[in-house]
Structure 1
C-alpha cells in the first residue's frame, strides 16, 4: 500500500517546501529505504539559487518526471521493505544509494558508459523521489550494502566521494607525482582523498576558506589562499602533472591549465554557473589535455565504500547535520560559504 512521508519538494528557483509526500507501491525489483542522512549538493544549490539545469521543466524523457520533485541524491538509509524479486538485499541492511538512471540504448550506454547516458536522470533531481525525505523507493540495483565499519553518516558521503574518485581516475596513473586541487569543498576534499588513495602524496590545495584549507592540511595537502599566491608560485619549480578543478570557478580552471607541465592533465569536476574562456593555444605547445567527468560507475561506489571501511574518507571536522525542517536555512548557510558539508537528517536521530 502507498505510504505517506515528508520531504523537501522543489517547485522552482527559490521555492522549496517541506510537504507530505506519498510513496509509490513497491515494484518487484524495488526497495523502500528509511533515509538516515542526505547531503546537500552544489547542484541542489545551483538549482535553488541560480536556474534549473538538471531538474525537469517538462516530463523527463527517461523517468517521465516533471516539477515538482523531491530533492536529495546523496543519501544513505536502512532497507525496510523489498519487492518480491529482490534477493541480494535484506530488510535491515544499511545502504548507500547510487541515484542515477540510464536508458541502456543510447551511444553512451551501449559503449558501456551509462554515466554519460544521453537521458541520464537522478533520483532526487529528475527521478521519482529523493533522499531529502523520511523514506524513498529505489531500484534494488541502485543500493550498495554498507559494511559494519562504515557508518550511515559516511554512507551519505559515498555519492560525492564517488564523483571525485571517478574524476581523479580520469587523469591519474602510476606516473603522477604532483597534483593540484582547486577548491576544498566536498568534491575537492574527495579528490584529495582519492589522490592519496592512488598513491599521490605531493598535493596542493587552494580555497578561499581558512576552515576548508585547515581540513585539507590535516589530510596531508599543502594549502594556500589563491588571493595571496598563484599555483605556479606554490609549485616553486615542481612539475605539475594533474589538476582537479573542483571549485566551479573559471579563474581556477584557467590558472590550473597555465600551471600544468608537459602533457599535464586537468579534469573539470566543479559545476560552473556560466561559461568561462581560456586560450586554446595554451594547450598546444605543452600537449595539455582537458577532461570532463560525469558522475561515477558502480565500481567507483564499491571502491569508495571499501576505502571507507579501511579508514579513508574521514568525515571528522568538515561534516555537520541539520534536521529536515531546517533545509532551506542549510541551503543559505552553504551558499554563504558556511560549513563544508551539511547532511540533512529527515527523521530524528
Structure 2
C-alpha cells in the first residue's frame, strides 16, 4: 500500500509499505482522508520534534514512520476481542495513546498523560491507504457526516476542548487570535455553545476572507487596526469574556491579556516555537488567568460529532484535497507558503 513515510527533517517519501493487519483489540481502517496538521509541518521542516528517535514507551515505534493523525475511514477488519466496532462502519479516529496509570490519567485527564503518544507521530498513522488502531480510538460517524467532515473531527475537537476550558457561554464576548483551522474551529465551537459576539484577529487576507465567507462578522486585520482599542470599544471597556490564542506569537498573547475582562481567561491553544517575554502585570491587575489547552477527550469528540450531525460545520472555502503523491509539493509547501488553509490528503 502507499504511505507517506517520515524519515527526518524535510524527508518524507511516498512509498509502498506492507499493509498492516490487526492484532488483539485493534481495528483496521481504510483511510478516506487525512488532514495535514501544523505538527506535521513542524516535524517536516524542523523535526524530529515529537516523532521519537528511540522506541516510544507506549507504542514501541520510532523513526521512520507513517505520518497522519487527523483522519476518518471505514473499518475493514477486526482483531480478536473487538466487540464494540463492526466491519463497514464509518469512523473518526481519536489518536491519543495514554498509559492509564499516571496521575492525569487516573483523574480522567488522559489528554495530558505523562507518556502521551499520538497515532501518526509516535506510531505509523493515517497518511496511508490503511492503518490499524486500538478499537477504543474509533468513534462511529452518523451517515449524515461526510468523510471530509469526519477527517476534521480531530482538529475541531482540539478547538472545542479549548472553548470548553474557557467556560464561555451564551451571551459572552470572545476574541480569537488566528484564523487558521484551529481558529476557525474555535469560532464554530463558540457559536455551537451560543456565543455570537466574536472578534477574529488575522493578518492574512486569505484567511480573513475565508472565515468572513463562513459568516464571521467582526474580522480584523491587527496590522491595520489596534486590536486592544477595537475590543475595548466593542465591549464598552469591560474587556472580553474569553480570549483564544491560536496564532502562537507574542503579539497575540500580549493583546489578548490587554483586552481580557476581569477574572476571565486567555486560552493558549497554539504551539509556541519561541519563549515569551510578555509582561503579566495586566493579568495580575485583572486577576485574569492563562489556561493551556492540549488536544481533547472523548467527550469533545462526541460533542463535535453531534454538532456535525446537526449541520453546524461548513468546509466551504477553506478545505482542499491533494492526492498522497503530492503531499510534500502541494501539501506541506502550500501550507507553509500560505497558499492554502486546510489540506486533506486522499490516499
Shared fold per TM-score greater than 0.5: yes
Residue of structure 2 in register with 1:131 after alignment:
126
Contact 1:176 1:241 in 2 (8 A): no
1:180-224 Cα shifts (integer Å, max 9, x gaps)? 000000000000000001111100001122221122223234101
In structure 1, distance between residues paired with 2:20 and 2:280: 50
Determine if the alignment matches structure 1 residue 312 to structure 2 residue 312.
yes
Contact 1:23 1:137 in 2 (8 A): no
In structure 2, distance between residues paired with 1:65 and 1:50: 20
Residue of structure 2 in register with 1:321 after alignment:
321
Give unpaired runs (5+ residues) of structure 2: none
Give the Å deviation of 1:107.
1.1
1:5-24 Cα shifts (integer Å, max 9, x gaps)? 21111111111111222244
In structure 1, distance between residues paired with 2:275 and 2:22: 42
1:123-160 Cα shifts (integer Å, max 9, x gaps)? 00012x21100100001110111101100010000000
Residue of structure 1 in register with 2:62 after alignment:
66
Residue of structure 2 in register with 1:114 after alignment:
110
In structure 2, distance between residues paired with 1:55 and 1:167: 24
Give the Å deviation of 1:26.
1.0
Residue of structure 2 in register with 1:162 after alignment:
157
Residue of structure 2 in register with 1:54 after alignment:
50
In structure 1, distance between residues paired with 2:219 and 2:308: 24
In structure 2, distance between residues paired with 1:340 and 1:308: 20
Determine if the alignment matches structure 1 residue 205 to structure 2 residue 200.
yes
Contact 2:68 2:119 in 1 (8 A): yes
Paired positions, count: 341
Determine if the alignment matches structure 1 residue 332 to structure 2 residue 333.
yes
Q: TM-score, normalised by structure 1?
A: 0.95
Give unpaired runs (5+ residues) of structure 1: none
The 5 Å alignment of 1:136-147 reads: 136-147=131-142
In structure 1, distance between residues paired with 2:320 and 2:188: 19
Give the Å deviation of 1:233.
2.3
Contact 2:100 2:106 in 1 (8 A): yes
The 5 Å alignment of 1:163-242 reads: 163-174=158-169, 177-217=172-212, 218-235=214-231, 236-238=233-235, 239-242=239-242
